[in-house]
């Protein structure tokens, strides 16, 4: 088996590489990345890409059928990966998260790739009052990031191909990584507890978030990269996570404060309603992927983050202005003329 992981040098990629190498020791694993965040290593004693057979560098917007020839599966992780970046780089967000995803899928199909995996998001449900949302429920994407994800899903579903395509609507990512991000709700709370001794919840704490640890994202990607068409269909958009990992934000803050004794939790009870609140139903994923279900509990995700940040000697109370925030990294590249506003490297 030969697998290409596009966008492997970000937050999720190292966990995916580690998992695929462990579960498919004889597979040929290649990475392809533009290296925006390659230098953002967090406590790793070895380069995560050492587990690959080869690492390629380049812009995913240039991937062609010739470059994808010979692969059994292509995993598309490359993305402008959160709402703040999507707000600042809206045109690029749609270019990379939607247009580029579809063009790579078409190129992969033309190259004879058997499985294509797209990292989508549960954020496509947006403001979703009521019960947990399943794959057949209406979508309500609020942000450019969410709109780009559902736009890509729509175009992927319309492709006429024998390639098995899986859009994994991931719950909100969390957990320790060799390239940690702190611009995610649980990771932010742990960083606040360790560096400030206080967690400030900007909302009233009521919004719902489903969570999934990066290690469990890797398990889902493993399943999707090897899924047969008779297990879910030629094209499948599926919520990836588990029902018992839907949390209200205030409960996440409480869990972190209990794991870091002495942490104060401040909740803004007068805050306006959050534009992102959704519970998600993961029954279909449990049925179709029983051997790839999430294994990392909230408690263990928090413990792994505490251990990792402590190992890094993390004490930065101003971390939201650091390179642990992906938007800050891109802004730094642009300010030093390394990237242009289209997020293309300058010679």
Who contacts 157 (Cβ-Cβ below 8 Å, separation ≥6)? Answer: 165, 167, 235, 237
Contact 101, 109 (CB under 8 A): no
Residue 262: Cβ within 10 Å count: 8
Category of 7 on φ-ψ map: left (φ > 0), alpha (ψ -120 to 50) or beta: left
In angstroms, the CA 79 to CA 141 distance is: 17
Q: What is the pLDDT of residue 202?
A: 84
DSSP 314: -
pTM of the prediction?
Answer: 0.96
Per DSSP, the residues of 222-238 read HHHHH--TTTT-SEEEE
In angstroms, the CA 61 to CA 100 distance is: 6
Q: What is the pLDDT of residue 274?
A: 62
Q: What is the pLDDT of residue 343?
A: 96
- List of the chain residues with pLDDT < 50: none
Q: What is the pLDDT of residue 204?
A: 87
For 116, 159, 237, the CA distances from 156, given in Å and listed in that order, are: 10, 5, 10
For 164, the 3-state DSSP assignment is strand
Look at strands 73-76 and 115-121 and give their pairing: parallel
Alpha carbons within 13 angstroms on the beta-carbon side of residue 276 total 20
What are the tens digits of pLDDT across the range 128-146? 777 899 999 999 898 999 9
């Amino acid at each position: 088996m030969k697998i290409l992981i596009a966008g492997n040098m970000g937050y999720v990629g190292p966990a995916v590489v580690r998992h695929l190498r462990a579960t498919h020791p004889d597979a040929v694993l290649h990475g392809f990345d533009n290296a925006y965040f390659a230098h953002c290593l967090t406590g790793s004693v070895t380069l995560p890409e050492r587990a690959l057979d080869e690492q390629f560098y380049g812009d995913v917007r240039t991937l062609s059928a010739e470059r994808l020839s010979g692969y059994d599966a292509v995993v598309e992780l490359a993305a402008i990966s959160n709402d703040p970046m999507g707000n600042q780089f809206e045109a690029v967000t749609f270019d990379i998260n939607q247009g580029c995803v579809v063009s790579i899928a078409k190129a992969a199909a033309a190259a004879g790739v058997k499985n294509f995996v797209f990292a989508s998001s549960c954020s496509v449900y947006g403001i979703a009052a009521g019960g947990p949302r399943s794959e057949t429920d209406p979508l309500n994407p609020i942000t450019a990031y969410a709109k780009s994800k559902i736009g890509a899903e729509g175009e992927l579903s319309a492709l006429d191909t024998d390639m098995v395509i899986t859009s994994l609507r991931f719950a909100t990512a969390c957990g320790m990584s060799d390239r940690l991000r702190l611009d995610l709700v649980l990771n932010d709370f742990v960083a606040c507890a360790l560096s400030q001794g206080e967690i400030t919840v900007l909302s009233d704490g009521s919004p719902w978030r489903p969570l999934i640890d990066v290690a469990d994202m890797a398990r889902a990607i493993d399943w999707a990269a090897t899924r047969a068409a008779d297990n879910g269909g030629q094209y499948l958009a599926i919520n990836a996570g588990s029902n018992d990992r839907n949390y209200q934000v205030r409960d996440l803050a409480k869990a972190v404060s209990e794991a870091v004794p002495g942490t104060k939790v401040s909740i803004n009870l007068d805050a306006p309603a959050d534009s992102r609140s959704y519970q998600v139903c993961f029954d279909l994923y449990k049925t179709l992927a029983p051997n790839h279900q999430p294994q990392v509990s909230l408690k263990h995700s928090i413990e792994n983050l505490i251990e990792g940040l402590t190992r890094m000697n993390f004490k930065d109370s101003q971390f939201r202005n650091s390179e642990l925030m992906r938007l800050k990294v891109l802004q730094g590249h642009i300010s030093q003329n390394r990237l242009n506003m289209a997020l293309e490297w300058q010679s």
